[in-house]
A and B are shown apart, each in its own frame.
Chain A
């Protein structure tokens, strides 16, 4: 786990480059939005989708629920408009927490682009490992990644096609770049790559007369813990299909409650277990599926807040040093502001 100075500098620079990339993207998207605003100078013409029908920004930045992308296109723009929003999401799961922020842009209710920056705080685990082993084996307080997403609506109209069972269907990709590559590919985590691409297809249907929205997403991914622990591992380094399901019930036009279930891969086996502990499962990186129960409230089209109970199962447990983190559950809070 000893980096030489050049490696450390290279990591820092890499991180800066990605930060810069994201800022540039945000600036570019803002310019496009501003241009579009000028193009349609008069009146209120960028937020004519119906309330909450653009979903909220899910944890990786795509429009959807909290955990899962939906087939809807983010923002309140219709087929004649561009819309977007910025979001900030905080997840506190007992022994870890995740801060995420980003931007989601929808173009003509057809294309969606998103960028999200995630910071996963592991300082508690770091402290326990350092105290227990007498060595700072983790060497950082957070694992960070940038996610750039794109989505295209293929067919269907989730909200208005209330007389058919045909859902709205979209396909999307999420490119994820982890900024702690040396660590997550090292002996503690043992991921195979520090970047990866998820591919997904989503089908979303609003059963308007039942106030019920259903979504199913099939994702092909190698990402460990969304990519925060890298991509692939010694147990499995291939793309696997993972199913993600959401159901939301509209209590009012501005309030939805719901539940989500997201299957996740289980690729990792810490190389340290073999190297240092004679094969004992001391560093337990078994990955579990995730689920949440959420309530989303949109007082206006420009603002929405989502609160959820989220259960992520095991992320990283090192019982030997007192880090018995087997069940990570807690709160998910997210706010988004549209423009």
Chain B
């Protein structure tokens, strides 16, 4: 039994060691408002089909966001084209695709609304649907989601009811 325990611990350590190999090398300056550090290689960007792929994914993403009652109040407005363009630039830079995100930081962007965890997770789900639809491999999806998920700290501002953007309708 002690042998089995050692094997269990060993396999966990291997897992941990393996996961430490991807420590970010922050030599390149990135856009101040990007919200996270960009990836190193460009494999994930390629898996998304480059910028062209991102544009298609964001088109379907936005359709999903407007169709989902949990996210509709935030996106069913005249800013859709602008939001999609910003998302393409932000995702592209996060995936080291040679872009510069010109937009505002996540906190400022979401200051005029109240996003809760339900709305945040609903957006993640719609993004997953859009990535699935465009055959982005699960590994690549999670590499990008790992860059986006911590942004919940700046995006969410309530644990109560969600409130859509004030001036959007």
| A207 pairs with B116, CB closer than 8 A | no
| Cα of A161 to Cα of B149 in the assembled complex, Å | 7
Query: In the assembled complex, how far is the CB of residue A140 from the closest CB belonging to chain B, in whole angstroms?
Result: 29
Q: Which of B52-60, B82-90, B96-104, B117-125 contacts A (4 or more CB under 8 A)?
A: B117-125
B128 CB–A CB distance under 8 Å: yes
Which of B9, B149, B152 neighbours the largest number of chain A CB atoms within 10 Å of its CB? Answer: B149
Contacts of B69 in A (CB 8 A): 43-44
Query: In the assembled complex, how far is the CB of residue B65 from the closest CB belonging to chain A, in whole angstroms?
Result: 15
| A288 pairs with B1, CB closer than 8 A | yes
| B5 pairs with A289, CB closer than 8 A | yes
CB contact under 8 A between A50 and B4, given known A44-B69, A160-B152, A247-B12: no
Q: Which of A73-81, A93-101, A129-137, A142-150 contacts B (4 or more CB under 8 A)?
A: A73-81
| B70 pairs with A289, CB closer than 8 A | no
Question: Interface code A52-82, partner B: CB below 8 Å = 1, 0 otherwise?
Answer: 0000000000000000000000000011110
Contacts of B150 in A (CB 8 A): 160-164
Binding site for B on A (CB under 8 A): 43-45, 48-50, 78-81, 108-109, 157, 159-164, 207-212, 214, 243, 245, 247, 250-253, 259, 261, 263, 288-289, 291, 313
| B159 pairs with A80, CB closer than 8 A | yes
| A160 pairs with B118, CB closer than 8 A | no
Q: Is the interface of A mostly helix, strand, loop or mixed?
A: loop
Query: In the assembled complex, how far is the CB of residue A314 from the closest CB belonging to chain B, in whole angstroms?
Result: 10
Given contacts A48-B122, A78-B121, 20 further A-B contacts (CB under 8 A): A43-B70, A44-B70, A79-B116, A80-B117, A80-B159, A157-B152, A160-B149, A162-B147, A209-B142, A211-B138, A211-B139, A245-B8, A245-B9, A247-B11, A247-B12, A251-B138, A252-B138, A259-B8, A261-B8, A291-B4
| A79 pairs with B70, CB closer than 8 A | no
For the A-B complex, the count of residue pairs with Cβ-Cβ distances under 8 Å equals 94
Smallest CB gap from B159: residue in A: A79
Smallest CB gap from A49: residue in B: B121
Which of A44, A208, A214, A245 neighbours the largest number of chain B CB atoms within 10 Å of its CB? Answer: A208
Smallest CB gap from A212: residue in B: B15
Q: Is the interface of B mostly helix, strand, loop or mixed?
A: helix
Contacts of B19 in A (CB 8 A): 207, 210, 212
| Cα of A81 to Cα of B142 in the assembled complex, Å | 25
CB contact under 8 A between A208 and B117, given known A50-B125, A214-B12, A252-B138: no
| B138 pairs with A253, CB closer than 8 A | yes
Smallest CB gap from B117: residue in A: A78
Contacts of B146 in A (CB 8 A): 162-163, 208-209
Contacts of A159 in B (CB 8 A): 149
| A80 pairs with B118, CB closer than 8 A | yes
Contacts of A252 in B (CB 8 A): 138
Of the candidates B5, B70, B116, which one forms a contact with A261 in the assembled complex, judged by CB atoms under 8 Å apart?
A: B5
Of the candidates A78, A163, A243, A288, which one forms a contact with B116 in the assembled complex, judged by CB atoms under 8 Å apart?
A: A78
B22 CB–A CB distance under 8 Å: yes
Contacts of B15 in A (CB 8 A): 210, 212, 214, 247
